[in-house]
Amino acid sequence: MMCLFRLITMFLLFFDVIVHSRVHIHKEEHVGLMNDEKSLVSFMSCIISDPENSLENWKSNVVHVCNWSGVKCNNASNRIIELDLSGRSLEGTISPALANLTLLQILDLSGNHFVGHIPRELGYLVHLEQLSLSWNFLQGNIPLEFGSLHNLYYLDLGSNLLDGEIPPQFLCNVTSLSYIDLSNNSLVGRIPLNINKCILKELEFLLLWSNNFVGQVPLALSNSTKLKWLDLESNMLSGELPYEIICNWPQLQFLYLSYNSFVSHDGNTNLEPFFSSLMNSSNFQELELAGNNLGGKLPHIIGNLPTRLQKLHLQENLIHGSIPPHIANLVNLTFLKLSSNRINGSIPPKLCKIVSLERIYLSNNSLSGEIPSTLGDIQHLGLVDLSRNKLSGSIPDSFANLSQLRRLLLYENHLSGTIPPSLGKCVNLEILDLSHNNITGLIPAEVAALTSLKLYLNLSNNELQGSLPLELSKMDMVLAIDVSMNNLSGRIPPQLENCIALEYLNLSYNSLEGPLPYSLGQLPYIQTLDFSSNQLNGTIPESLQLSSYLKTLNFSFNKLSGNVSNKGAFSSLNIDSFLGNNDLCGQIKGMKHCHHNKHIYHLVFLLVPVLLFGTPFLCMCRHSIKRLRVVSECDLEDEEDETKELKYPRISYKQLKEATRDFSASNIIGSGRFGRVYKGVLLDNTRVAVKVLDTTKACENEISWSFRRECQIIKKIRHRNLIRIITICSKTEFKAIVLPLMPNGSLERSLYPPNNELSQRLNVTQFVRICSDVAEGICYLHHYSPVKVVHCDLKPSNILLDENFTALVTDFGISRLLKGDEKNFSNNSTSFSSTHGLLCGSVGYIAPEYGMGKHASSEGDVYSFGVILLEIVTGKRPTDVLIHEGSSLHEWVKIQYTQPHKLENIVQQALQRCSLSCVPRHDTKILEDVMLELIELGLLCTQNNPSTRPTMLDVAQEMGRLKDYLNNSFSREHNLLEK
């Protein structure tokens, strides 16, 4: 019995210990979770703006803390292990209280608007494995305490305002790091990796581009044998290319060392050791060494680089010698950039073996010999730039095989022979520049008939003969033609008036003769005309004075005669534009005056009957106009409650007043020429935008018309990218349209934050998706809607963004029906009478033809869309460009487009404005190409000539292609990161 009693006693004691232990554990877990919650509440108190309401459910009395937005708990410990609030547009500072989340493993606050310093207390999170604070506005130094994060393997502090040096103990102590991104900051000093103390064996990605680092690539990186990605571009690093280190990276795939001050081996004379060091990296894909001081020759072993290599950028260096034929072994190469070096010799014919080659840049070297005809066998070539060399011989006929060729640049060489007519088979050619050569013969009719040329044709400074071919008139999309400094003769074809997109025409320094065609003054968008130094005679056509866009004219050194007026386009000209024409006279400053009799009596004789019979006629016209106005006003006064007629649900003025807090000023979210927009909440908690039209304005009739137009059009159309009406309220004294409230505001808000606040930073992918959405919506209106509609006022403030950043086009108040679709509406003549008197759009977005009295058209919407594309890329309001630059946004971008360094600046600034949160550096290369495509599409859409603009169907297809390209590219690269 005694033994049994003891056993029972011991069991009870043991059970009591277990129970107390579990109670203690649960108590600790509960206390720990309470502390975690307090930390998050402290963090939230430092947030000054949450535009997306991301923290709306951070309320412990409603939602358990583990279910708060962005929070994840461990099921076993019931403690917070992950906080992911990336891309939420939060503004404020990062609270040090986050250090109390003692079991936190993942912290991601990237893509927000946090300011201030990085709290050093984050260094106490000893369990932290992933830390991402990129794409914020954080300042100051990287905390020394980060050296205690021994479990950290992913660190991204890129694209902030950090300065100072990298703490040596940080990189040396945290040996588990696999991914480090400190790029796009203002960090200085050397890269602090000591060969004996810092061994980062797990390192795979090191991105330090766009800082101010100095010194050499640290030898300690030779221990990082798993390295796949090294990007040190745009720093101030120097010394020899680190070939002794690179040979230890067998898994290397991407190496970016451009725009530093590296030199090659043996006193900057030997590149072979560097290229040899890459031989063992079997998966190597991209090499960029542009903009250094690299000397030496390209070694033959360059052909032994891994065959997976796709991009080789060696431009802007001091490389000399010839291009080794063995480079043709790189059969998967797509981009070859060797421009702006000192390369001589000939172009290897074996380049044709690189069947994947898409772009070849060999400009600004000393290449000689003939252009190999085998280049015509590379069927994927889209760009060939061999300009500024010493190439001789003729242009190969084989270029006719390059069906995808868009740009052929052969200017400033010693080419001779004739222009091959077979170039006319390059049906996608957009730019052809053969200027500054020794080319002879005629301009082939086949080349002159290249209707694909969209940008420019430059044949100047050659020895071309014969007359201007009539086929030039078929270039109805080309913007510039320059055939100056040749030996052309004959007359200027009047048919050039068919080059309706032409803005620049230079025919100077030839032997052209005969009169100036009157039709040249009818070129609708011509800005520059140069006829100087020819043998032209006759008078200057009056049509040139009437040209709307003409800014620059040069008639000097011809045989022109007659009277020259100083009116119209000639008002800004001086005598320099007319020198060398002794028989010219007129009112131009410095020009001799004409002597002739003024027949006053003839003028009086003509004016008297005009006055006698014209006055009664004007009175009759005035009376008719007044009657029309009275009839129109009477029609508009005949309105009843349109809610019933338009079949929308009823809502009362009282309900709208309550929903908007008595139309409080604090609820105003927008305003326009016809009224204001208020945010509100209906009785069923529906968040709405209430567009209240100001019926007290003098343009009440126009407002009433706009209201009915918008209601009827939106009622007829259905598309995911067009706004829908919830209901309307229409009385004589009050008119309002109730629309869904878009939580992310308008595109304008994303581009230009109000009151200089930090805005929702969208990334390039989001912008492309938004533009694709808009294109789809407008394409539907133009081509697929039951009634074909022209929007007429497309601009960023009329593009709304829902919770998923899907774009919806709004504001159809001044939209127009395309011809033939008026019958689909009611027969009420007031509702859909002519709208010709209304302004078709907003300043800066209005198509130029509208200013010349043309009717609204789908081409006008395409123009407005193009302006939006250019505005997104440049970050410039079109009205600002008009004021400060004195030109349209289209003209300003076109000038930058022709100057590569300025164009590159636009692209880089655009990428800096956009959020690139969690986007690898390699992906930014893809984004640069996308930005260039957006610029080109924007320029096409904003051509002055409406008939040469693409249709919205074409635009929607192109935007869809860009969207798919981005999605597919990012998926491919992100899969690589996961591996």
Task: Read off the DSSP letter of residue 583.
Answer: E
| Sequence-ordered alpha helix ranges (H) in 79-148 | none
Q: Which residue has the tokens 């971008």?
A: 893
Whether residue 531 contacts residue 507, with contact meaning beta carbons closer than 8 Å, is answered with yes
Q: What are the structure tokens assigned to 565, written together? A: 């007026």
**How far apart, in whole angstroms, are the C-alpha atoms of residue 870 and residue 94?**
35
| Helix, strand, coil % over all residues of the chain, rounded to 5 | 35, 20, 45
Query: Which residues, in sequence order, are CB contacts of 336 under 8 Å at separation 6+?
Result: 312, 327, 354, 357, 359, 360, 361, 362
Whether residue 790 contacts residue 704, with contact meaning beta carbons closer than 8 Å, is answered with no
Of 108, 181, 433, 793, the catalytic one is: 793
* Among candidate residues 728, 722, 735, the one with its CA nearest the CA of residue 696: 735
**How far apart, in whole angstroms, are the C-alpha atoms of residue 747 and residue 770?**
9
**How far apart, in whole angstroms, are the C-alpha atoms of residue 155 and residue 142?**
12
Pairing of strands 675-681, 668-672: antiparallel
The set of long-range contacts for 359-362, using a CB threshold of 8 Å and a minimum separation of 24, is 359/334, 359/335, 359/383, 360/336, 360/384, 360/385, 360/386, 361/315, 361/336, 361/337, 361/385, 362/323, 362/336, 362/338, 362/386, 362/389
Q: What residues are paired with 391 via a beta bridge?
A: 369
Q: What are the structure tokens assigned to 313, written together? A: 């950028």
Q: Binding-site residues for ATP, please?
A: 691
Q: What is the biggest distance separating any 2 CA atoms in the chain, rounded to whole angstroms?
A: 150
Q: Binding-site residues, please?
A: 691
Task: Read off the DSSP letter of residue 159.
Answer: S
The set of long-range contacts for 356-359, using a CB threshold of 8 Å and a minimum separation of 24, is 356/310, 356/331, 356/332, 356/380, 357/333, 357/381, 358/334, 358/382, 358/383, 359/334, 359/335, 359/383
Q: Is 272 helix (H, G, I), strand (E, B) or coil?
A: helix
793 is catalytic: yes
Whether residue 789 contacts residue 731, with contact meaning beta carbons closer than 8 Å, is answered with no
**Is residue 763 packed enough to be buried (19+ CB in 10 Å), middle (13-18) or exposed (0-12)?**
buried
Please calculate the CA angle 882-887-890 and round it to the nearest 5 degrees: 105
Q: Which residue has the tokens 């010839």?
A: 322
**How far apart, in whole angstroms, are the C-alpha atoms of residue 307 and residue 333?**
8
Residues noted as catalytic: 793
